[in-house]
Amino acid sequence: MKALVTALAAVLATTPEEPLKGQLYAAIWADLQMNAIIGNGNWPGSLWYNAGSGKIADLHIRQLQCERAGDGQRCSFELHRDNGPAVVLGESAPETLECLAAFTRADGVWSVVHMLPRRSGHSQTTMKCKTR
């Protein structure tokens, strides 16, 4: 029974193959950059991104695992920043975050799903991150 559950989990959550993996990475970076500028619902991700040295080489997406969800993907992943924890805007920005996000594809381009604003303001990202 345990082997069956493990096998099903492996089928449901897998590491995407190229070029999908690269396209999902691009969608994650785009969402993090937008969130860092306008703050659209992922405060831990915004702190993490803004604590970077400004060099994308210091920021890493790791352990991307996805499952199909209708016309999109639902993925978990880890964000890691070199150089340890930092303080941004008076708050601690951890070195590593665990994240979940929903993705959709329109006109061949993948993006993180956003929900409409409740009353006014910006859309809200479905990417949610937390300290590990």
Spell out the per-residue pLDDT of the chain, length 132, in tens.
444 334 444 445 788 888 899 999 999 999 999 988 888 888 999 999 988 866 666 889 999 999 987 779 999 999 999 888 889 889 999 999 999 999 999 998 999 999 987 776 778 899 999 997
With b for 16 or more beta-carbon neighbours within 10 A and e for fewer, the 74-91 pattern comes to: bbebbbbbeeeebeeeee
- CATH-assigned architecture of domain 15-131: Roll (3.10)
Q: What is the pTM of this model?
A: 0.83
- Vertex 46 angle, CA 45 and 50, to 5°: 115
Domain coordinates in residue numbering, the chain: 15-131
Torsion of CA 63, 64, 67, 73, to 10 degrees: 160
